[in-house]
Copies of this chain bind each other. A is one copy, B any other.
Amino acid sequence: MNIACNLDGSVDVTGCKLSIYPMKDQFVDIILGAVNQLNQVKLPVWSQTDLFSTTYRGRQENVVNVVKTACQLAYHDDVHTVFELTFSKGCPGDVDADRYLNEAIQPVIVPTELKNFHVDCKYSFYAFGDADYMQDIVHIVDLATQAGLKPQSMHYATALSGTVEDLFRYFDQALTYAHEHIRHYVIEATISVNSPSLED
């Protein structure tokens, strides 16, 4: 059960709340640089920015693609940056994004060349409701293994390691599988790039 299920709307909308944390004095420039480039594109999703994050909502494939592009636009080779993501679906609360459900799956065309880069990720998959979803959750972790993301158990989360393209392709696969088998679910993910701890 999710405390945030307090708004009316369609349960078919996939949402993702994205926060970007560049560990840098110029963090504002980095975040706004990415956001401004995204805003020059007509995005196939609903979006809203608040003090903490930007929330994107609409058709799953487009939400995943927009969030991936935002992460790539905010990525800089020399900057340790963390991305915090909450994917959610099945929470009644998405009336104003319903019209985006009929958008075609489409790439996000930005003038910048999008890089592929190494990411480390921790994530938790939460399923809600009466049913026993253990087999489904095992399958979702198996999908990460098949994607080459080397899942590792840790307390309260699972670690993944790979490229940003592989990671978001996996998120899309995991969300697709969850959509077919689970009524209401959340993925909480934290993506880390260029951490100085990796050099130890």
Given contacts A4-B154, A125-B3, contact A192 B52 (CB under 8 A): yes
Q: Give the distance in Å from the alpha carbon of A184 to the alpha carbon of B72 in the complex.
A: 36
Say which one of A14-22, A36-44, A61-69, A102-110 lies at the interface with B: A14-22
Interface size on A, residues (CB 8 A): 61
A120 partner residues in chain B, CB cutoff 8 A: 51-52
Q: Give the distance in Å from the alpha carbon of A71 to the alpha carbon of B62 in the complex.
A: 36
Q: Are B15 and A155 in contact (CB under 8 A)?
A: yes
Q: Are A7 and B51 in contact (CB under 8 A)?
A: no
The residue that A84 contacts in the complex, of B4, B57, B190, with Cβ under 8 A, is B190
A192 partner residues in chain B, CB cutoff 8 A: 51-52
Which of A28, A50, A91 has most chain B Cβ within 10 Å? Answer: A50
Q: Give the distance in Å from the alpha carbon of A52 to the alpha carbon of B189 in the complex.
A: 11
Q: List 5 A-B contacts (CB under 8 A).
A: A1-B127, A4-B153, A55-B155, A88-B155, A130-B130
